[in-house]
Structure 1
Amino acid sequence: MRLRCAVLDDYQGMATSVADWSPLEGRVEVVCFREHIADEDGLAAVLADFDIVVTLRERVPFPASLLKRLPRLQLLVASGMRNSAIDYAAAAERGVTVCGTQSLSTPPVELTWALILGLARGLTTEDAALRTGGPWQSTLGADLHGRRLGLLGLGKIGSRVARVGLAFGMEVTAWSRNLTAERAAEVGVALAPGKEELLAGSDFVSVHLALGDRTRGLVGAPELALMKPTAYLVNTSRAAIVDQDALLAALHEGRIAGAGLDVYDIEPLPADHPVRSAPRLLATPHLGYVTRANYETYYGQAVEDIRAHLDGAPVRLLG
C-alpha cells in the first residue's frame, strides 16, 4: 500500500519541480498544499490521512496537541536542521521520526543586503515614481561607505553580512552575549561594548541571532529609542527578536529613518496587518531562504529522508 505524503506551504508550487521525486514512485503519493493552513483544527483535519508530512521551515507548529490528532503520521521532515516549532519529545512518544535537511546560509545574506541597499537608496520610492510619472529624483540616498554597520549576532550568516559591509568600506561592529573580541577580530570587525552602544552608534543595524529566551524581545522600545533618527534597522532573522509594535510606532513617529523586514509575528501576513501600511518600511514576504538552490536542497533532501525512512535507515534525524 502506498503511503501518503503532504507537502505544506508550497506557496509557489515548486516542491515537485525543483527536485526529483521519482525515487518514491509507486511507494508514496505526494500531495502539495499551496495555501497556508493556520489553525490546528484545520491541520488536524487535512493531515489526518497522511503518513508523512514535509513542513517548510518553522511555518507550522507541531505541538503535542496536534501530533496526537495525527494517528497515521510516521515521518515529519522539516527543512533545515533546527526547528523550534516541533515538539520532539511528543513526536518520539508517538513513534514519529523527525528528519531535517541542510539549508544554505548565503540566500538570507543576499536578501539582507537587498534590503539594506533598497532602504539606503530609496529604491521602491524611486521605482514607483518613475513608473507613474512622479518626480525625477525625489530621495537623497544614504551612503554606505564610511558609515557604521552594527550586527546583532556574528554567526554563520552575520559573518557573511559583515564581510560584505567591509567590502563596501563600512565600519562594522558586532555584539551578542557570547561574542568575544577574538571571534570578532577573526571576521575583521570590532566587538561593541554592549547592545546599547551598538544601537546608539550604528547607521545600519541588522539582526542575525537565533530566537530563544534570551533574545526574544531583545530590541524593544527602549533599544529603538537609542538609535539615530537617520539609522535603519533590518531583521531577516526571527520576528520575535524585535518588538514589532515598538518598531511600528518608531516608524510612524519618524524616530528612525526606516526598517527592512522579512519576518513577522504572523505569517503569511493577514490583509489588514499593520505592517502592510507602515511608513518607512521595506518589507518582503519571508524570502530569506527562497532561492532555487535552497529549494533544490530542501526538497531533494526531503526525498532522500523519505526514501531512507522507507528503507529502515533514517538520516538527518532531529530531536
Structure 2
Amino acid sequence: MAEPVPILLAGDHFVLNRLLADALLAGAVRAAWDARELELPWPHEPFRAIAEVDEASGSEDALIDALQGVRVCLTQMAPLTRRVLESCPDLKLFAVSRGGPVNANLEAATQHGVTVTYAPGRNAVSTAEHTLGLMLTAMRRVSDSHHGVLQGLWKSDLYAYDATGLQIHGNTVGLVGAGAVGSHLAAVLVAMGATVLVHDPFVDPATLPPGVVVTPLPELLARSQVVSLHARLTPETRGLIGAAELALMPGGSVLVNCARGGLLDYTALAAALREGHLFAAGLDVYDIEPLPAEHPIRDAPHVVLTPHLAGATKDVAQRAAAMVANEATRWLRGAEPAHCANPEVLENRPTTTDPH
C-alpha cells in the first residue's frame, strides 16, 4: 500500500477539525491519510483581510508552517495567499468549505497548479429557514411584543386593526434572487399559501416550484407585501434596493435581507421605517459589519436584527465538512473535483490514477 497522503485539517470553532476528520474517514480508508491539524480562531476572532485575500482567519506564517509537506488542505477560513503558495510547493488541493472561496487567491493558485474547491449551497436550507423566521418575526412584530412583555406591559391594543401585522397565507411575497436559498424559500412559501414572485435575470423558470412567477423588479416591488433579498452581490447588484425602490413597495409592507448588506441602502431603509411607509424589516446582514453604534438602522422602529447568523447551524457545519471531505476523496481517486473554483488549473493537470 502507498504511503498515507499528508493532509491538513485547518478547521475553526464552527467547522471543527473533528467534523472534518470524521467526514474524511467516512469517505476513504483510514490508512489513506496522514492527518495534521491547525485550529483557526474564527468566530472567536472576527475574520479579516489577510494580504490579498478577504474574510480569512489565522495567519500566513501559521499556515505555511502547518502546510510543509502537505498535499491537501481542508478549511473554511485559512488564507491561501500568493506567499503561502510560494512557500508550500507540495500543496495540490485546497478545499474551502464555504459558498465562495474569497479567502483563496485563485489566480496564484492556478499559477502554482493548486486546485481550489468550494461548497456551494452548504447553508441554503439554513439561510432559507432563518429568512422565514425573520420574515414572520417582522410581519407580526414579535420582537416588539416580546420586549413589551419583559417590561411588564400587556399591550392588548396591538389588536387594533392599524397595529396588527401580516400573515403569509394569502399575501404576495417577492424574492429578489432565486438561487439555492431563494428557490428553497419559494417552495416553502408556496406551501404556506403565499403568492410568490421572483426577480432573477439568470433563473430558468422551469426550475422554480409550480406557481412561482418571474417578474421584473419594479413590478415585484409594487405587488409584494413582503420583499426578501437573495441576490448575489456583484457590481451590478450593489445598491440594488435604494430609496426609489423602497418607495415602490406598498405602504405597510415588510423588507427582509439575509443575503448581502451591499444590496440595500440602509439609510433609506431606516427613513422608510421612521416615516411609517414600511411596517417592519428583518435583517441579518449589513452594509458595515459589525454594525457600528451610530448606524441609522439601530434607531429605526420595528426592525429585527441578527448578527449575520443565517448559516449558523450544526447541520451546516456538518454538511460543509462532508463537502470538502468529498473533494479530498475525489482527488485521492484521481476524479474531477465536484466544485472547482479555478477550472483552468484542470486543463494542465496530468491524468492521474488512485494513488492507493
What is the CA–CA distance in structure 1 between the aligned matches of 2:63 and 2:98, rounded to whole Å? Answer: 21
Question: 2:17 is matched with which residue?
Answer: 16
* CA 69–185 in structure 1, closer or farther in 2 if over 3 Å, else same: closer
SS in 1 for 2:197: strand
**Quick one: which amino acid aligns to residue 11 of structure 2?**
V
Pick from 138, 157, 166: which aligns with 2:190? 166
**Quick one: which amino acid aligns to residue 36 of structure 1?**
P
What is the CA–CA distance in structure 1 between the aligned matches of 2:37 and 2:19, rounded to whole Å? Answer: 17
Question: 2:83 is matched with which residue?
Answer: 68
What is the CA–CA distance in structure 2 between the aligned matches of 1:3 and 1:190, rounded to whole Å? Answer: 47
Question: 1:6 is matched with which residue?
Answer: 10
* Matches for 1:285-300 after TM superposition, within 5 Å: 285-300=307-322
Pick from 95, 110, 115: which aligns with 1:97? 115
Pick from 196, 209, 218: which aligns with 1:196? 218
What is the CA–CA distance in structure 1 between the aligned matches of 2:302 and 2:8, rounded to whole Å? Answer: 46
* CA 315–273 in structure 1, closer or farther in 2 if over 3 Å, else same: farther
CA RMSD, Structure 1 to Structure 2 (Å)? 3.4
Single out whichever of 280-289 and 13-22 deviates more from structure 2: 13-22
How far is the alpha carbon of 1:296 from its aligned partner?
0.6
Tell me the TM-score normalized by structure 1: 0.79
What is the CA–CA distance in structure 1 between the aligned matches of 2:61 and 2:270, rounded to whole Å? Answer: 36
* CA 157–14 in structure 1, closer or farther in 2 if over 3 Å, else same: closer
Question: 1:318 is matched with which residue?
Answer: 341
Larger radius of gyration: 2
Q: Give yes or no for contact 1:147–1:170 (8 Å, CA) kept in 2.
A: yes
Q: Give yes or no for contact 2:85–2:109 (8 Å, CA) kept in 1.
A: no
Q: Give yes or no for contact 1:175–1:195 (8 Å, CA) kept in 2.
A: yes
* CA 311–165 in structure 1, closer or farther in 2 if over 3 Å, else same: closer
What is the CA–CA distance in structure 2 between the aligned matches of 1:184 and 1:27, rounded to whole Å? Answer: 41
Show CA shifts across 1:233-287 (max 9, x none): 11122222223333234334443222212223344x1553624454322122222
SS in 2 for 1:92: helix
What is the CA–CA distance in structure 1 between the aligned matches of 2:294 and 2:321, rounded to whole Å? Answer: 31
Question: 1:280 is matched with which residue?
Answer: 302
How far is the alpha carbon of 1:126 from its aligned partner?
1.6
**Quick one: which amino acid aligns to residue 248 of structure 2?**
L
What is the CA–CA distance in structure 2 between the aligned matches of 1:253 and 1:46, rounded to whole Å? Answer: 51
Gaps of 5+ in 1: none
What is the CA–CA distance in structure 2 between the aligned matches of 1:288 and 1:36, rounded to whole Å? Answer: 16
Paired residues, what number?
307
How far is the alpha carbon of 1:195 from its aligned partner?
0.9
Pick from 5, 24, 38: which aligns with 1:30? 38
Single out whichever of 140-149 and 32-41 deviates more from structure 2: 32-41
How far is the alpha carbon of 1:292 from its aligned partner?
1.9
How far is the alpha carbon of 1:298 from its aligned partner?
0.7
What is the CA–CA distance in structure 2 between the aligned matches of 1:115 and 1:270, rounded to whole Å? Answer: 18
**Quick one: which amino acid aligns to residue 134 of structure 1?**
L
How far is the alpha carbon of 1:312 from its aligned partner?
7.3
* CA 72–255 in structure 1, closer or farther in 2 if over 3 Å, else same: farther
Q: Give yes or no for contact 2:17–2:39 (8 Å, CA) kept in 1.
A: no
Show CA shifts across 1:127-166 (max 9, x none): 2222331234464232323221112123333232223222
What is the CA–CA distance in structure 2 between the aligned matches of 1:307 and 1:155, rounded to whole Å? Answer: 27
Gaps of 5+ in 2: 52-57, 68-72, 159-163, 343-356
SS in 1 for 2:169: coil
SS in 2 for 1:124: helix
